[in-house]
Amino acid sequence: MADKQNTILQVQNLHTHFFTESGVIRALRGVDFSVERGKVLGVVGESGCGKSVTAQCIMNMLPGSGRIVEGKITYYRRDSADSRTEAIDITSLPPRGRAMRAIRGNEIAMIFQEPMTSLDPVYTVGSQLMEAITLHQTVTRQQGKEIAIDALAKVNLPEPARILDAYPHQLSGGQRQRVMIAIALSCNPTLLIADEPTTALDVTTQAQILDLMRALQEETQMSIIFITHDLGVVAEMCDDVAVMYLGKVVEQTDVDTTFHNPKHPYTRALLRSIPRLTSDDKSRLNVIKGRVPDPSVVPSGCAFHPRCPEMIPGLCETHTPEVLTLNGNKQQVRCLLYDDKLMAKSSSPIALAEAR
């Protein structure tokens, strides 16, 4: 059980399916992780691992064909007046109901991957920013405008009053992303979900956005779920890391342990794929062989075993790994290599020793 005082969000055994004409797509197959108050959790993994779907489930805004078929998402709301904590089951709330609408965009906000598709091109920045403010706060139009200008100023946009009257196409990519951050932060959320917020930006603008988000996080002490492919961003931004593969979290620990003592073969493979400045210019980049399987046809046993360089024949393709706790509750991993009871029955102790 999560410690309600230190945990702001807990995801337990989350299963999400998409019911399509061609069949059922099992996008999430038992996602488990928690987010601590005031901390940044990085969620990493290849495309198709379920990172964005997990974010949509937390926001309770799945597309029409998507359904949460099992599991629970608990948001721990803290009353600032008396520090009491209320556990809210997001999965039990109607997506369009008043309770969920009061949380979405107010207490839990989201920055989407591509601002040009998230911002409405026919409305000014001010209209879209003030809509979020007036929806969740009891303010006059003039007060809403002042809050909007202040929000744009906080994200270091020059001449915020002028940008308030601009349309999205009149801004650069970096400015649009700052507007998205301003909208997300306008109601002072306690949890922010950032879904690859710097993917479409150049390197210089990306660094500025990351510095801005880290500064705002330290100033407001909000929690962040940071979804990204870039492990360099994870090293700079995050306190903890959850590694996802094919709809499951296969490893979760703090950021230092992720980089210096990773346990799951998939985590190690991702780290080997990072280009090194010290490597020979003529050497080939390390890649993970194969690709993420179709979620409608999940391999038996450990889903990573067809691509795993440490796969133990006769074991990994037949047994589904459970969550194991290592390093004194510091690290959680789904891998048969660390299941001592199962390994004791293995007929390949030499392969096991080499894999470990």
Flag whether 282 is in a domain: yes
pLDDT of residue 244: 96
Token readout for 102 is 């009061």
Q: How many domains does the chain have?
A: 2
- Point out the domain boundary residue: 167, 188, 209: 188
CA atoms within 13 A on the CB side of 191: 23
Q: Which helix (H) or strand (E) holds 30?
A: strand 23-36
Token readout for 144 is 């809403």
Flag whether 258 is in a domain: no
Percent of the chain predicted with pLDDT > 90: 53
pLDDT of residue 222: 92
Cα separation, 36 vs 9, whole angstroms: 7
Cα separation, 113 vs 105, whole angstroms: 16
Question: How many degrees, rounded to 5, is the angle at CA 111 between CA 128 and CA 249?
Answer: 155
Flag whether 315 is in a domain: yes
Flag whether 139 is in a domain: yes
pLDDT of residue 253: 95
Dihedral pair phi/psi, residue 13, rounded to 5°: 45, 50
- Point out the domain boundary residue: 170, 188, 206: 188
pLDDT of residue 281: 63
When mean pLDDT is compared across 76-90, 124-138, 236-250, 313-327, the lowest value belongs to 76-90
- Output the CA–CA distances (angstroms, integers) from residue 236 to 6, 106, 211, 226, 336, in the order listed: 23, 27, 9, 11, 31
Q: Which residues contact 19 (CB under 8 A, 6 or more apart)?
A: 65, 67
Q: What is the mean pLDDT of residues 240-251?
A: 96
Cα separation, 273 vs 164, whole angstroms: 42
With 0.85 as the threshold, say if the pTM is over it. yes
Flag whether 308 is in a domain: yes
Percent of the chain predicted with pLDDT > 70: 93
- Point out the domain boundary residue: 188, 207, 242: 188
pLDDT of residue 215: 87
Query: Model confidence over 128-151: pLDDT tens digits?
Result: 999 889 888 888 889 989 999 998
Name the more confident of 279 and 145.
Answer: 145
Flag whether 275 is in a domain: yes
**Tokens 């073969």 label which residue?**
265
Token readout for 139 is 């303010």
Residue 320 region by backbone torsions, left for phi larger than 0, else alpha for psi between -120 and 50, else beta: beta
Under a CB-based contact definition with an 8 Å cutoff, are residues 306 and 299 in contact?
A: yes
Name the more confident of 263 and 177.
Answer: 263
Flag whether 202 is in a domain: no
Q: Which domain holds residue 155?
A: 108-188
The pLDDT mean for the chain works out to 88
Is the pLDDT confidence value at 94 over 90? yes
When mean pLDDT is compared across 7-16, 172-181, 219-228, 303-312, the lowest value belongs to 172-181
Name the more confident of 309 and 206.
Answer: 309
When pLDDT is cut at 50, 70 and 90, the band that residue 351 belongs to is very low
Under a CB-based contact definition with an 8 Å cutoff, are residues 246 and 290 in contact?
A: no
Query: Model confidence over 16-26: pLDDT tens digits?
Result: 999 988 889 99
3-state class (DSSP) for residue 106: coil
Token readout for 290 is 């194969």
When pLDDT is cut at 50, 70 and 90, the band that residue 1 belongs to is very low
pLDDT of residue 330: 87
Flag whether 80 is in a domain: no
Query: Model confidence over 154-171: pLDDT tens digits?
Result: 888 889 999 999 999 999
